[in-house]
Structure 1
Amino acid sequence: MRRARNPVQTAVWWVKKQPPKVKTALAVLTGIVVLVFLRFVIRDHDNLFVAAEFIHAVGIGCLIYKLMKEKTCAGLSLKSQELTAIFLMVRLYCSVVMEFDIHTLLDFFTFLTTAWVIYMMRFKLKSTASDDLDNLPIYYVLAPCALLAVLIHPGTTHHIVNRVLWAFCVYLEAVSVMPQLRVMQNTRVVEPFTAHYVFALGIARFLSCAHWILQVLDGHSFLLSALGYGLWPGMVLLSEIVQTTILADFCYYYVKSVMDGQMMVRLPSGVV
């Protein structure tokens, strides 16, 4: 006798059968429902940003475990880690000179752990690195972010250099994961701890995006005054949405693999 599926398995099976446009619409609808839920359940929406940074730290913890226990950095992108370190370093500087709050401390600890991961990948475990797969030139990411930061940056009263640097780290954060996605695109099979890390990034980016959207919807004058005027507020929100969208495909296949009881995440051609 065929075993009956539970409701979750039935829902997953139904979603798998849908065409890409329906899956996209369902993903957008799910995101909207979650946003509404978060708006009414969490009173202080700034906690979403703290939660995003905490989940990012959990993802880095998965990398540290992988590097220490498995003694390999195969499947990881050194370039993504270096881009992450760059935007964190710039954001730390901006945070110290422009605000200095709990986010400054969180970014500091995240930067330290990211720097340790880079050290392990570049020196201790270099023989296991995926250099041939990590083939996205880093200046393809840095140059457009720098140019965009010069053209569109906050219109606040801070020094122009600080405003441009702030914009640069926002834009760079949005696309820093692209070399890691290129590595996964080249391998097609993502081992567990790397998958956990990228999935954690996806969740962190969604929470960060939700934070900005809900703050703007609530009309918090402090946030709006901090963002300034002109194109910059829209670019901040667009950057958050871009980050979330970039990782959405992978998060779908991660959840699918978990629901199917698979340890490895297998990506079909064209994903990420």
Structure 2
Amino acid sequence: MALGSRAINPVRPLLRWLKKQPPKVKTFLGVLSGILALLLLRFMPFNRNNLFVVAESVHAVGILVLIYKLQRGRNCAGLSLKSQELTALFLATRLICSFVMEKDIHTVLDTATLITTLWVIYMIRFKLKASYMPELDNLPSYYVIIPCAVLSLVIHPKISINLLFRIIWAFCVFLESVSVLPQLRVMQNTKVVEPFTAHYVFALGVARFLNCAHWVFQIVDSKGSLLFAMGYGLWAPAVLLSEIVQTFILADFCYYYVKSVVDGQLLWLSGNTRRLHS
């Protein structure tokens, strides 16, 4: 036990120092950490084309964590039904495009993730309805869906497939980037983050970062030609921007998650802490 404490101790002063820094310094260090992580992935000896598959797999693991929570605790406190419904919506629209254009390993992973997400929705809506807190899950879904739909009508890939599928593809990309917002609102409203919910959101953060890294490496490896393979205009920059937005939305939570794990404490958004219970 003492050996484990000595191994962790050097990290705590660094986290305490970081907590005291002004927002501009934290932002700079966050961007720098992201760049260093990208460089590390860049030079690791593995096929970087598999990053997207790894990202989807991490997302699937996050869903399995939720299933374990629901099965073990028999309650859905702290979970956002709206985030799960938005996740199901973007997965369903992405599957439509996948069946038309790809039919590969991504189709299989998305299908499995959609099925498990629908199961989570079913459990929250019907089996564990008594523990659901709709008053805390108060970010209207149309605040997220309508802007994404409008944006997809304006910005979509200029490639040789049916216009409807191009718009659907754009919609699912934009919706995915903001689908976690209702879950973050729930956590802000409850102040304290239940451990399994925290594990799930952290898995989403890791998946989003790996997804973003996949696109960055694809663009770099193709020397920018990938930007034009999807058509000229705003689509390619919009895809990359949406990946970056997803990553930054979850970056702050991931920092506090890591801090709480290092300290052996449960994450409180109000600034207080207590011991972590698994």
TM-score range, shorter chain: over 0.9
Residue range with higher mean Cα deviation, 175-184 or 11-20 = 11-20
Deviation per residue, 1:186-243 (Å, 9 max, x gap)? 1110010000000100010000001101110111688445522211000000000010
Per the TM alignment, residue 256 of structure 1 is displaced from its structure 2 partner at its CA by 1.1
In the other structure, the counterpart of 1:218 is 221
In the other structure, the counterpart of 1:66 is 69
Q: Distance in 1 between matches of 2:200 and 2:59?
A: 8
Deviation per residue, 1:68-122 (Å, 9 max, x gap)? 0100001000000000000000000100101111101000000000000000000
In the other structure, the counterpart of 1:79 is 82
Q: Distance in 2 between matches of 1:147 and 1:232?
A: 14
**Any residues of structure 2 matched to 1:27-66 within 5 Å, and which?**
27-66=30-69
In the other structure, the counterpart of 2:103 is 100
**Any residues of structure 2 matched to 1:1-272 within 5 Å, and which?**
6-219=9-222, 223-224=226-227, 226-262=229-265, 264-268=266-270
TM-score (norm 1): 0.94
Per the TM alignment, residue 266 of structure 1 is displaced from its structure 2 partner at its CA by 0.8
TM-score (norm 2): 0.92
Unpaired segments ≥5 residues, structure 1: none
Query: In structure 1, what residue type is equivalent to 2:92?
Result: M
Please give the root-mean-square deviation of Cα atoms over the aligned residues, in Å: 1.7
Query: In structure 1, what residue type is equivalent to 2:85?
Result: E
* 2:161 aligned counterpart, secondary structure: coil
Unpaired segments ≥5 residues, structure 2: 272-278
Query: In structure 2, what residue type is equivalent to 1:267?
Result: L
Seen in structure 2, the aligned counterparts of structure 1 residues 109 and 180 have a Cα distance that, compared at 3 Å, is: same
Query: In structure 1, what residue type is equivalent to 2:187?
Result: M
